[in-house]
């Protein structure tokens, strides 16, 4: 009798454990995944982020059925390191992609033979993650920095790099791929638009010329956003991304529009160069949801994993944003977000940064210290470090604690030879002095 009771008890425990394990398993979603990066797009030039001009009517409409992260920060302020962070969920000083095509600026005389950093092959990238789970992977980029030379083709079944041919060309090229993409079953598609990266074009119907140089540049910039928005709208309809699709729209970095005395990006880690949009749209979100917790583009890959029901990876530094999307308890508002900029453009530039809540600490050239209260001073015009040294030192110590203890990959390099056409194109994009 006792033996029978023990057997029944063991069976009961086994059944309970099976039920428990089943309930703990993530429900897998077979959504198509589309990630759109709009190069050099600062969030505060978009209507859903409070901009008064309707620069992006389609994205504004889409935001009414999406999660909009109001405080999203890029890991760096120029394309190669920032995009590599999106692909790997690692910070620039971890994946090592610090020098892209800006390497051509190193010498006073342009040498067509240059060396650039490459994503190490041992790092699992976003397309590789999805490829592992039977996704067909497609990628098209309109920026020469997103190329095979820097390892961005890693994990793609089909991948193409162009040199600022514009949103119209990128969209037309994708429509040529449409049948192949749709027939492939579930797919991952990465699109990297170059608009509104400099040089800015005055695009109808938004552009109205101004005689003031700086104002005219800003109007051109805004019109480029509107131009890209139109083509995203067309692709959204053509591919039916309102159905069974996880659509993520962001930028690699922001853009300086004389906020600190210069135009362009890759100069600093000030707010305007790192504050980017992040819009997440998928079937389970059908109304506007604004999220004010500070997050990073490093979080995109873990969030994709979590939404699809795929296992998270301890090798990725980002955090899943799904708890924020589901209104679940989390500690994301207390975390530290790290920033890094390193370039050698005839002289070495190095900026490090930490964001924690409303605080933004910057260390320039490992010497000059800055602290900004983004809640009161979004334009970061007032360095309050001297009056808040305790907070500044706390954030600096936190940065170096992480920097020294985190996993870093050996920098991989690759050589390429540029032709005259490539060099002239790079000059127009600001990659060559």
CA–CA separation, 350 vs 43, rounded Å? 24
Q: Mind listing the pLDDT tens digit for each residue in 110-166? A: 556 677 899 999 999 999 999 999 999 999 999 989 999 999 999 999 999 998 999
Average pLDDT over residues 35-59: 98
CA–CA separation, 335 vs 49, rounded Å? 23
* Alpha helix positions (H), 270-388: 271-274, 300-308, 322-325
pLDDT at position 411 is 87
Residue 52 lies in a domain: yes
Residues 6+ apart with CB under 8 A from 251: 37, 38, 39, 40, 41, 42, 43, 74, 276, 277
- Of all residues in the chain, the percent with pLDDT exceeding 70 is 87
Residue 53 lies in a domain: yes
Residue 276 lies in a domain: yes
User: How many domains, the chain?
Assistant: 1
Q: Mind listing the pLDDT tens digit for each residue in 170-179? A: 999 999 999 9
pLDDT at position 116 is 85
Least confident range from 219-233, 246-260, 345-359: namely 345-359
Coil, strand or helix: which one is 68?
strand
pLDDT value at 7 more than 60: no
The answer to whether 82 touches 75, Cβ cutoff 8 Å, is yes
pLDDT at position 428 is 62
Residue 371 lies in a domain: no
Residue 378 lies in a domain: no
Estimate the share of the chain in helix, then strand, then coil, as percent rounded to the nearest 5.
35, 20, 40
Residues 6+ apart with CB under 8 A from 14: none
The answer to whether 267 touches 77, Cβ cutoff 8 Å, is yes
Residue 37 lies in a domain: yes
Residue 80 lies in a domain: yes
pLDDT value at 416 more than 90: no
| Containing structural domain, residue 201 | 28-330+408-429
pLDDT value at 228 more than 90: yes
CA–CA separation, 222 vs 396, rounded Å? 36
Residue 75 lies in a domain: yes
More confident residue, 424 or 132: 132
Q: Mind listing the pLDDT tens digit for each residue in 49-102? A: 999 999 999 999 999 999 999 999 999 999 999 999 999 999 999 999 997 765
3-state helix/strand/coil string of 160-193: EECCCCCHHHHHHHHHHHHHHHHHCCCEEEEEEE
Q: Is 329 buried (19+), middle (13-18) or exposed (0-12) by CB count in 10 A? A: exposed
- What is the CATH number for 37? 3.40.720.10
DSSP string, 146-157: SSGGGTTTTT-S
Q: Give exposure, 139-174, as e/b (b: 16+ Cβ within 10 Å).
A: bbbbbbbbbebbbbbbbbeebbbbbbebbeebbeeb
Please, how many CA atoms are within 13 Å of residue 325, restricted to the half-sphere of its CB? 24
């Amino acid at each position: 009798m006792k033996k029978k009771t023990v057997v029944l008890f063991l069976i009961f425990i086994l059944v309970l454990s099976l039920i428990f394990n089943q309930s703990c398993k993530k429900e897998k979603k077979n959504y198509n995944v589309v990630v759109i990066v709009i190069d050099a797009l600062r969030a505060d030039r978009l209507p859903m982020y409070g901009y008064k001009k309707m620069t992006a009517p389609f994205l504004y409409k889409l935001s009414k059925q999406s999660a909009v992260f109001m405080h999203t920060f890029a890991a760096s302020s120029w394309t190669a390191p920032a995009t590599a962070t999106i692909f790997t969920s690692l910070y620039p000083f971890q994946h090592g992609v610090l020098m892209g095509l800006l390497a051509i600026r190193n010498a006073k005389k342009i040498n067509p033979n240059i060396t650039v950093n490459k994503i190490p092959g041992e790092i699992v990238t976003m397309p590789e993650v999805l490829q592992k789970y039977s996704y067909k992977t497609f990628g098209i980029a309109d920026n020469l920095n997103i190329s095979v030379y820097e390892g961005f083709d890693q994990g793609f079944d089909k991948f193409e790099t162009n040199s600022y041919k514009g949103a119209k060309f990128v969209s037309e090229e994708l429509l040529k791929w449409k049948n192949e993409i749709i027939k492939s079953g579930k797919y991952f598609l990465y699109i990297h638009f170059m608009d509104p990266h400099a040089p800015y074009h005055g695009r109808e119907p938004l552009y109205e010329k101004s005689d003031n140089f700086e104002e005219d540049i800003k109007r051109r910039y805004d019109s480029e956003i509107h131009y890209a928005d139109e083509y995203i709208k067309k692709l959204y309809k053509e591919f039916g991304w309102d159905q069974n699709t996880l659509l993520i729209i962001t930028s690699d970095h922001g853009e300086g529009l004389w906020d600190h005395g210069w135009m362009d990006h890759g100069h600093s880690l000030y707010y305007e160069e790192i504050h980017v949009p992040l819009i997440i749209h998928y079937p389970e979100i059908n109304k506007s949801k604004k999220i004010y917790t500070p997050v990073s583009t490093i979080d995109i890959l873990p969030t994709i994993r979590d939404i699809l029901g795929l296992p998270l990876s301890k090798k990725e530094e980002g955090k899943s944003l799904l708890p924020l999307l589901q209104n679940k308890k989390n500690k994301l508002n207390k975390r530290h977000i790290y920033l890094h900029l390193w370039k050698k453009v005839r002289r070495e530039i190095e900026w490090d940064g930490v964001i924690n809540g409303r605080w933004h600490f910057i260390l320039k050239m490992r010497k000059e210290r800055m602290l900004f209260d983004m809640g009161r001073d979004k334009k970061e015009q007032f360095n309050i470090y001297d009056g808040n040294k305790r907070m500044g030192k706390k954030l600096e110590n936190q940065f170096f604690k992480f920097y020294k203890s985190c996993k870093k990959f050996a920098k991989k390099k690759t050589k390429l030879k540029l032709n005259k056409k490539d060099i002239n194109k790079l000059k127009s994009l600001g990659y060559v002095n």
